[in-house]
Amino acid sequence: MSDPVFFQFSTVTVIILLALFYGGTFWMSTFVNEKEESVDGFMVSSGEVGFGISAASMTATWIWAASFYGAAISGYNYGLSGPMHYGFWGALMILFIYPFGLRFRKLAPNAHTLAEIMHARHGSGSQLILAISNLFGSVISLMVNFTAAGALVSVLSPLSFQAGVLIAGIGVLSYTLWSGFRASILTDFAQVVAMMSIAVVIIPWVYFSAGGSEALSAGFTIITEQQADFFSTTAILEQGAPFFVAVLAYAIGNQTIAQRLFAVREDLIKPTFITATLGYGSIVIGLGMLGLMALLLGVAPHEGDLNNIIPQMASAYLPPVMIALFFILVIGSLSSTADSDLSALSAIMMTDIYGRNLAKGNPNPRKMLLLGRLTMIVATVAGLILASFSLDILVMLVFVGALWGAIVFPVIASCYWNRVTNAAFIWAVIGGLVLFTIVRFEILPLTGIAGGFFEFVAAAGGGVVLALMAFGFFGRIVGLLVGAIGFLACAYYFNGFLRDYTVLLGSLTAYGASTIICVAVSLMSKDEFDFDLINERVTSFDDDAAMGAVRAEDERLKNA
């Protein structure tokens, strides 16, 4: 296997490219800054964003660094089916969220976060569980995106990995701090247009520069039988199925997705998410082909780091001008998601920590905005520190998704079933996380009775995943039927088999355990919840009487 000589920009050239990108992005963000800053505008743009901006923002947010690097790593590790497993399942999960999104918006038209709906449904305990999981997940996402920036800069320039991480962090923070969510969605639109335009040119260019079909066909002699099989069971069990389960959790648990759901006009939710599904799938499957081409060409990852596959392919097979465009393409993709993470984190702190808990029903808009911006600064620093460890992007993606898997059923059930209680929600999440941790880190030997127990719980998790998808699109009866059939099929095939695939076993165990516990504890209570109360309890901060009183007092003091 060969390790191609890298093309490298000079330090000055890379700094100019980064300055032009982040400087231009900051300049764009100044167009949406408001003299009289609105709390709701800073968090969700007041829920009136149109179709074009929303679809582009959803696509750009979902196409993050992991979409580039993870898809390429999947193609490199698993061969022919790798890019499809990454891109298709990720796209399907964008589509999956919209029927549930319609329900969330119907219950709480003025919501800012999904955790805020859980607060109205159950109280602070469930809200804080969801909020804290999002804080953790978004910081990990920041780390992943900054890691990608460091890998790109270190390969394509004399600058160090740490320098690339630092520049990306400061650049993203500079424009997001200015106008919050409004800046994020506006820049997303420009970034997704650029990403699609550049990707359409770069992928075929690499293909033909590498020798086209003749060179790639020759590569089938050096790969394994599983890598050459489009229906590879190894790829399905180690990549496809775990990623499918993980991104389902991302679709429900990730505040960056929920934030766009609450920002888009309610009548535009369906076309927005369908468009984003198509846009994501087409771009990411194409990007994953770069990893497959690297495998077939016998390219060895530089220094053994799979995160280097994409910059290596660009460096080896693109001319300098195209490498510059590729550089902007990746920086744009990771920045579009990093600014979404910062906006999501600020919304969680402003709404779930301060607005609905610490403020005691009397939130101050100036304090909320200050807290939101301070959160962005602290989160950026945390992301930069974690990124310095240069962890494997694909591993982190699946791990965080599995952790979020424990909250999927309790959240969805809470919005449809009036018997779900706060205790059921909390114990379901705790139980799912505990059992997931035991399996994922093999704290107990996965043999004998223990192995059979976890496989049974995972079978329940498999049935739940299928049931939720069917329920979202086709209703309760179809969902229950599909779930029951899925459980029986999984119980039969998983027995004595799935324990050898701990990533998938752990992910499905989180789903199964949380569902079983949530249903069991909920059935112990006879209380029934009135869903109309959610709309009464989840209000717009800008319309609250308390907020109006605060602003009136500010005006009085100003004129005194």
pLDDT at 361: 66
* pLDDT grade for 94, boundaries at 50, 70 and 90: confident
- Could you give the 3-state DSSP secondary structure of residue 36? coil
| Average pLDDT, rounded, for the chain | 84
Cα separation, 485 vs 483, whole angstroms: 6
Which two structure tokens, joined as six digits, stand for 480?
């229950």
- Look up tokens 């301070």; give the residue: 374
Summarised one tens digit per residue, pLDDT across range 187-205 is 777 777 777 777 788 889 9
* pLDDT grade for 557, boundaries at 50, 70 and 90: very low
Sign of the alpha-carbon dihedral angle for 489, 495, 501, 506? positive
* pLDDT grade for 103, boundaries at 50, 70 and 90: very high
pLDDT at 559: 57
* Residue in 370, 360, 358, 372 with CA at minimum distance from that of residue 546: 360
Cα separation, 168 vs 170, whole angstroms: 6
pLDDT of residue 556 exceeding 60, the answer is: no
Whole-number CA gyration radius for the chain: 23
3-state secondary structure 124-145: HHHHHHHHHHHHHHHHHHHHHH
pLDDT at 45: 59
User: With contact defined as beta carbons under 8 Å apart, do 75 and 82 qualify?
Assistant: yes
pLDDT of residue 553 exceeding 60, the answer is: no
Residue 237 DSSP code:
I
* Residue in 188, 349, 373, 174 with CA at minimum distance from that of residue 264: 188
| pLDDT above 90: percentage of residues in the chain | 30
* pLDDT grade for 514, boundaries at 50, 70 and 90: very high
Summarised one tens digit per residue, pLDDT across range 48-65 is 788 888 888 888 777 776
Q: Please, where are the H alpha helices in 415-544?
A: 422-440, 448-474, 476-494, 502-523, 532-537
Cα separation, 309 vs 316, whole angstroms: 11
Mean pLDDT confidence for 279-306: 87
Mean pLDDT confidence for 367-373: 87
Sign of the alpha-carbon dihedral angle for 503, 508, 511, 516? negative
Summarised one tens digit per residue, pLDDT across range 374-416 is 999 999 998 888 887 766 655 665 566 666 789 999 999 999 9
CA count, 13 A, side-chain hemisphere, 157: 24
pLDDT of residue 545 exceeding 50, the answer is: no
Cα separation, 183 vs 174, whole angstroms: 11
Summarised one tens digit per residue, pLDDT across range 328-342 is 888 887 888 888 889
pLDDT of residue 486 exceeding 90, the answer is: yes
Mean pLDDT confidence for 31-45: 64
Summarised one tens digit per residue, pLDDT across range 434-467 is 999 899 888 999 999 999 999 999 999 999 999 9
Which two structure tokens, joined as six digits, stand for 481?
């039927």
Residue 35 DSSP code:
S
* Residue in 369, 358, 82 with CA at minimum distance from that of residue 230: 82
pLDDT at 196: 78
